[in-house]
Structure 1
Amino acid sequence: MTSLSFTSIPAPDHPVPDQIRHAAADRPIVPVWHNEGATTFRLGEGPGSRFAKWAPAGSSVDLAGEAARMLWAGAFVTVPHVLEQGSDAEGTWLVTAALDGDMAVTERWKQDPATAVRVIGESLRAFHDALPVAECPFSASAEERVAEAEHGAEQRAHRTLHPDFAGLTQADALKRVTDIPAVDLLVVCHGDTCAPNTLLSADGRFAGHVDLGALGVADRWSDLAIATWSTTWNYGPGWELPLLDAYGIDPDPARTEYYRLLWEVGP
């Protein structure tokens, strides 16, 4: 998991791997997003455009796993259609068809957070309602995530936690997340509900979910805690409750704090 402190819009001259140039097939290539270990490029414009994600060798980003999750989820919800997934000694890549929408954090939607937040909340509820838990082959339980965090604790010991957890060390935080709250409701979680991963159409309707590499069965607060947190990063204070209202649920401060801390200690 990563927070927005590790994401950015790359410079126009960001290096383009040969594998992405090949996937572009003469389409113009524009780097659009970088997220701790992977870079996303837009290939072309308008109808027929694509997006390609690249993770260099050694990255912890599992693009094969993300492709498998999108292929499964695509039977139930709107996610990008997988066109190609491959790997070689230099890295892995994932190419998908573009959806007709923009990230909920473009300048337009930052100027209209009421619409963006409502769509994020409503579409997350629809996502949770649509995906069948019993049929999902992927898990994202707190127990598994704690085990992953413990396994990689040494590599992440230098990381600074979000200011909401000022005063805690990584070791303190890791100890706290071993006390897992009881599950509220098991759903198939998106796994990375930061606002950029919801797309809106030009007329302000839901257009799709992206970045499903962490999808799996978990408590719904695993998603809700991060979706609400992300509103503070992207739109400013005051939008957490409107998102929960749009989803249709009351606040749960204890689970929210827990899953935010788990996010911070995770990979």
Structure 2
Amino acid sequence: MTRHPTGRGILLTAGLAIALAAVAVPFYWLVIASTHTTEQIFGSPPPLLPGGHLLDNVRSLQESANFGQVLVNSLLIACLYTVCAGAVCTLAGYGFAKFHFRGRDPLFGLIMLGLIIPAQVTLVPLFTMMADLRWLNTYQAVIMPNLALPFGIFLMRQSMAALPDALLDSGRMDGCGELRLFWKVVLPPMKPALAALAIFLFLYQWNDFIWPLIVLRDGASYTIPVALASLQGLNDTDYGAILTGTSIAAIPMIIVFLALQRHFVSGLLAGAVKE
């Protein structure tokens, strides 16, 4: 039997189409604008088809911001941060989920307070610490302060809480040490949660602007958001170059998400329902 679309189905399809357009149209215009000059971008009517100035914008971007080096800086910082922060959040989540020690719950509650404290509150003390350590204008100044990210610890703790304690007890009875138990028994079932955590950490660091702007002083060590912001002048701004840089900056985020999307939703839902 042929099923005809109902009114509810038509409304749902129309709503999804509107949501898709709201997401796709700005991204499409970003890509199109990156192939035009500033004058063409602000022309009337605005450009809707690709232009012929993409290479000119890339060349201007490289000359103005040394964008090749900036891209390498962002990739290196984001990858190092994802690995290091992922390790810290995973170990902390395992400890809070599977170990019982005095003050565990109050300490976890204290960490969760970090979710409601604005990041701007910590900028001054963190900057003072980086200056005392003589880490200003270094990668470690960008990476180290946010390794123990509260949301990452919360995500891994909730995911690992759903892991059966009997599985860990059987591993200990077989003679596994804690590190081997963590590596061989705990981590394999956590792949979806780890994928979700990796996406979140990479995007968090890749898009971070305020903290790198404060601690990075040399243009050769800038990340992409800081470098693009530096291209905005008081009297003259090359929006073609800025939009080209923004388009290029979106590519690694898309690649990371597409590579890990299969695990993303299941990773976020891991631990939401306990048997």
With structure 1 as the length reference, what TM-score do the two structures score? 0.22
More strand by share: 1
* TM-score of the pair, normalised by structure 2: 0.22
- Larger relative contact order (CA 8 Å, sep ≥ 6): 2
Name the structure where helix makes up a greater proportion of residues. Answer: 2
